[in-house]
Structure 1
């Protein structure tokens, strides 16, 4: 199985991803942490000139600046200058409080005003910082004198500017000259929102929890703070000693949110208010306004109004729900609008055609009291599909039939029914008898290719899988320049495609591409909470594979807490498999999942192959499961999983399985298949050199569990030097996979794979924490020479040559 899947057969009949499905753009954009660093640098007098902090209303510009000065030890008290309607009508109206000592007769002399301010600011040590907001309401003479003060190095300036405002000419010149740096502050990313929520609550939260709040606030920092405060007051969070989750998706409307909304709309005219009231309830403009274009344009420019198709909406759901609540009515739900584009129509059609019992299985709507066999449900669905009368060759019927094939392919892959999945793929082939491929729309085609890639890697056809994944992701996943951020926008139709791609990349051990895809989803590129749950689970799994179980725990446990409140059974099973697989849950915790789930082969089919491969990569598959699970995988056609499990058994001493392992590699020439073949040959010939070399190659491909073994099986055949060689391969892999996410507990995980003695672990951990040899010797009550000897053994086993490399392995390098 798998030989018929030739990547060119599919790619020759595919036109590539459309930009409306998956769009990426590089923007000159700093994340909030970077902005805070710049502002702190100004406070500490490392940066002259100043900044223009430019962003839409609600992006939290004022709070960022306040935080920079509140946490500073420099003693600087910034001077706040705020524009107003009154001040804009009077010369130097915004800075009258700085001119109290200047005679009124001299207020008409710009030179006298500058001289007075110069004398004032020359006395300031350190150099004063002037913060200007509401720039559009400040008179030209004030902006001119402030520009002169900056040009003469007397003050540093921070301008808080709305995106819609036009900068005065004097200040624009300073920006062009580079005296003042322009910083664009965009709305919160999902990651930034998660950080902000955690800081407010003092507890860890999942990306899923953050997603519900972030989407409700439309990425507005100010609205997010108001909503979280209202949730706290309404006791809407379920909390443990370390984590928090929302009790329900419906969020309360409290005083903080109402106060913010009131501040946003209090300056609006009656016509503008009437428009918002009508749109909040009905999604339509108020008839009484006569759809005044001036009023509408003003609201659109302030991001208070947006148009979707034939309907209008308020882009920020929190504002919309608050305005509707004041009228005692439910808010108009813009997310339920029918989409006119082919992407949304295809997804909607796919859901309609899915049999009801299959929809329940896919969405996890199983009974709380019983856990019926998913295999049985899918069997029934497949039987309904297979006995369906042949459809007429009319275009609309053929498109519908192709859609049904995609539905069944997803379900069959979920159930690890690879032989039946192969039959569906054969019918989808370009130029096939039914010509189903030609009648799939564009969105159906990219989903089909992603599913075929996932199928291919699971039947061990890695060449086809890599070609298909590479073609789908060509020119859409790229690195940004150092001063830019890549922003991705992924349409809803791409949700299932991205999930299949993440699974395929995980199975292919394409860590870079896998991390890119996961990060896109965690940045909020696609509005799909099911995909977000999957990506967050995979993110925790990758961290655990890299040896950083502490960070993985901080992701896995709050995610499960949120799913226990608002998730589905299917989502809980997915997360439980990951938690069990990488041993993240505390066995004594009430939140720990049922350990019996790991012993069920049906469970592995139900949750998907990617988590099973992840369990193996993390060395968490229990030995008593391996034999039963390998037989199950082989029967199901899961050649990749069966191959890896057989290799595990052979390494533990079941040498009679080598012929089965070789048979599974028949017809494949990729590196993993070749290494498995050569490993089996080495075992048959008792060739320890070949065994060590092939195990090392497999470990460097990501199968780190093969580096650890008791003194039995092939490991009993290897000498100490060969075991150290395997340890070095494991160290090389762990240092490469995700060094930026390494944590202080990484070394402990690595040490367990490198057969360090207990004394070597103690000495290595102390050295990684920065202790000198003399300090280690004093703490351990041994000689310095003994410490040096232990470190020599550690360096040899880890394949490193200096202390800095040891710190990298320990995850504390550079700190």
Structure 2
């Protein structure tokens, strides 16, 4: 996901009449047409609470205001069982004995309406909000008026319980237009956020708010207000982002939920409380506590949902309602409800979600929880990035044998938010200690990952990790019967840690700290799937350094498959491997594969998006920069940086800052470039060797773009061959691509030497441009431009077409020069546009002509007659006429005087 998606939504939203009506233009049009037309006598607007029915109703009234006499009637829950209760203001003069007579009420009501109609001289429009609260008698009166053609009806009502039977009958008979309002899509939600907050919203922030609100505008508005009030939603450097998971007990949301509860019976409220506290919870259990009728009513009104048989469970319809409702229940009342429910439960929750909710509930009301259950809940909460709950549960573990694991969970929560020093301090206290092999190994992988994040080299980490082997030997001597198993387990973990830190750094263990790589030789098979995955990740990086992008992606994908999903201790492994895979497809220029991979990575829940979303946005920004869309890249990368300031588990901040600097330099934004350079220089360098060198290249390129950096090309070439040999073709390709983009034509020949060993459409297209630079032929430049466009490398495509234009200019071919320049402009326009779509101009169509057609048009532009052109090209006059006729059609002109570059006589 990138910021351009938000800007697209804003473009669509400008056509909307009001913020509240974003995404409702079609509904508005349908309702207005129904009222204005002769086929329908009513428009019925139905939807969930907060979905925007009243706002749409008012928009329809605004549209029709000048053509109708509006009369407002408002449904009321207190009058829902009082016949004609809501018509009281219109029938005040009716005698008491006639108050229940439909005919008398109809005559009096109609008399009042007729007075208003005659005063305005316009048709009547009866406007009913909260139509679900109308009594049947009033609904019958309204239907009588509409059916007789005396008035049109505009009614808004909740889908559940729905419309009174008489109004619903209008729809059954086909004389009412029913419009069901659906939840907002993610793009429509983005439009509301842009109107509310501004255009620069971190995409993962928009996604979290959309998921939490479930497309409900009222809930969305409440979430935004509450998040701004409690500091969860902040604007940093012009970018709106979430600093922590949303809380669900702000004033706005609490008010919404409280108003919902006021409409429910005491039994229904008790059921809602129990379900919110225990969800997912057995339907049978809740019904045995409160009865079947309240549960059925809540299901019918879509306040709760039920999972299918054979073991139906209940949960609140809106997740945000459940969170808010729990905060409305006092601890004493919560404890009372818990005790009443536990008496009926015959087992612990079987699902992870159920366990987490039960433990959380117990902690909220001060109930005792078993240590092992606390630890299980802490692990689950940390994996779901519910850090506060994880720390709270872990801190309550009392068993000394389990406290080591509990502290490791706490360290994990600090890792979630990139507080590596705090995580290290916790893990260091327990490292290489313990009286059992399980305790001894607890937290060791996280310990190594934390040290890597703090900048320690693989050699340093593994030297300190020898303490684990020593501890294993001590434990083995104390337990001679289990000595073999203890030594095997500690050595296996040491090997896995070594594979991990080597993969993180992108260096072979033997090469750590030496700057050289070993010759390929036999390796012992990996002892477990984690070690195998890390070896594959390291292989992926080495292949990437060698320019084998496709093979690197395959290795990273295999690593993901090998690792599986059971790595509890190193839960960040998946994101680490995804980052490796993303580096491969971005280097290779396989944008479709990159889009699929990043979409899958961004498909997590809200807290996960907050922790890892910055890396996804950084990848999108780098893709935009490589594609030549520098202006978009600046915005996307700057937003990613703000996210990475909060959480950067993959240590991508320095890389992102360097790419943002290069993009800002590309568009000449010197102040922003200086800020990005400051961010890069202040940040710890990327852990991975490939990303570290790539970051340096981007900074060097950016400095050259800003000027006064004469040694940039030499520096880039050195970075591409850090050991001075040809074993780093991938790095050298990156460096030479930067050189070529800076206009260094001497880099072309070396790129062509590397081409046979490079993989991916990006390398193929850039090497095609390098070949054109080497020959300096216009035809080669045009072919290169087409190849670069096909690969979506618009910057290089524009350079290729510029080279073609220069060649045509030198040959005096002005028509083809204009054609090449128009193609260059098209590429630059696409690069600068938000959606990547260029506006086709008249001269752009020259590219549609065949080579012979361009030759004939060029001569026609010079003023030659058909006969002279035929003689010049040694073809028949009929051939010239045919080519010109087809050319006129392609260029959308009527004749020779309208050809591009020809002034009318």
Any gaps of 5 or more consecutive residues in structure 2? Answer: 1-15, 336-351, 359-372, 374-378, 391-404, 425-449, 473-484, 559-571, 706-711, 841-889, 894-905
Q: Give the one of 619, 642, 648 matched to 2:732.
A: 642
Deviation at 1:264, TM superposition (A): 1.4
Partner of 1:782: none
Partner of 1:592: 675
1:291 and 2:286 equivalent?
no
Partner of 1:125: 122
Q: Which whole-Å CA distance do the structure 2 matches of 1:741 and 1:416 have between them? A: 36
Any gaps of 5 or more consecutive residues in structure 1? Answer: 1-29, 472-491, 748-799, 804-815
Check 1:711–1:142 CA distance in 2 against 1; reply closer, same or farther (3 A cut).
Answer: closer
Give the number of aligned pairs: 686
Q: Is the 8 A contact 2:622 2:633 kept in 1?
A: yes
Partner of 1:34: 23
Q: Is the 8 A contact 2:136 2:165 kept in 1?
A: no
Q: 1:548-581 CA deviation, whole Å, 9 max, x = no partner?
A: 7666666555554465467779364465345323
Partner of 1:259: 255
Q: Is the 8 A contact 1:537 1:575 kept in 2?
A: yes
1:528 and 2:632 equivalent?
no
Partner of 1:196: 192
Q: Which whole-Å CA distance do the structure 1 matches of 2:702 and 2:669 have between them? A: 18
Q: Which whole-Å CA distance do the structure 1 matches of 2:413 and 2:244 have between them? A: 22
Q: Which whole-Å CA distance do the structure 1 matches of 2:169 and 2:832 have between them? A: 43
1:661 and 2:742 equivalent?
no
Q: Which whole-Å CA distance do the structure 1 matches of 2:321 and 2:91 have between them? A: 42
Partner of 2:400: none
Q: Which whole-Å CA distance do the structure 2 matches of 1:590 and 1:653 have between them? A: 21
Q: Is the 8 A contact 1:118 1:149 kept in 2?
A: no
Q: Which whole-Å CA distance do the structure 2 matches of 1:514 and 1:673 have between them? A: 16
Q: Give the one of 54, 78, 83 matched to 1:62.
A: 54
**Greater relative contact order (Cα < 8 A, sep 6+):** 1
Partner of 1:580: 661
Partner of 1:224: 220
Q: Is the 8 A contact 2:652 2:686 kept in 1?
A: no
Q: Give the one of 129, 139, 144 matched to 1:142.
A: 139
SS at match of 2:54: helix
Deviation at 1:53, TM superposition (A): 4.0
Q: Which whole-Å CA distance do the structure 1 matches of 2:79 and 2:586 have between them? A: 60
Q: Is the 8 A contact 2:384 2:608 kept in 1?
A: no
Q: 1:176-230 CA deviation, whole Å, 9 max, x = no partner?
A: 84851433412x5555445434544568532344455555555543233234334
Q: Is the 8 A contact 1:577 1:607 kept in 2?
A: no
Q: 1:375-403 CA deviation, whole Å, 9 max, x = no partner?
A: 745666789999999xxxx9xx99xx99x
Q: Is the 8 A contact 1:378 1:412 kept in 2?
A: yes
Taking the TM superposition and a 5 Å limit, the aligned residue runs for 1:635-784 are 639-640=729-730, 642-649=732-739, 660-666=750-756, 672=762, 674-675=764-765, 689-691=779-781, 693-694=783-784, 696-707=786-797, 728-733=822-827, 741=835
Q: Is the 8 A contact 1:560 1:575 kept in 2?
A: yes
SS at match of 2:788: helix
Q: Which whole-Å CA distance do the structure 2 matches of 1:147 and 1:735 have between them? A: 60
1:171 and 2:168 equivalent?
yes
Q: Which whole-Å CA distance do the structure 1 matches of 2:648 and 2:124 have between them? A: 54
Larger Rg: 2
1:107 and 2:187 equivalent?
no
SS at match of 1:180: strand
Q: Which whole-Å CA distance do the structure 2 matches of 1:634 and 1:32 have between them? A: 62
Q: Which whole-Å CA distance do the structure 2 matches of 1:455 and 1:79 have between them? A: 75
Check 1:742–1:705 CA distance in 2 against 1; reply closer, same or farther (3 A cut).
Answer: closer
SS at match of 1:125: coil
Q: 1:473-497 CA deviation, whole Å, 9 max, x = no partner?
A: xxxxxxxxxxxxxxxxxxx999778
Partner of 2:356: 337
Q: Which whole-Å CA distance do the structure 2 matches of 1:494 and 1:97 have between them? A: 66
SS at match of 2:139: helix
Q: Which whole-Å CA distance do the structure 2 matches of 1:701 and 1:195 have between them? A: 31
Partner of 1:324: 327
| TM-score, length of structure 1 as denominator length | 0.60
Deviation at 1:263, TM superposition (A): 0.5
Q: Which has the higher helix share?
A: 2
Q: Which whole-Å CA distance do the structure 1 matches of 2:807 and 2:832 have between them? A: 32
Check 1:136–1:568 CA distance in 2 against 1; reply closer, same or farther (3 A cut).
Answer: same
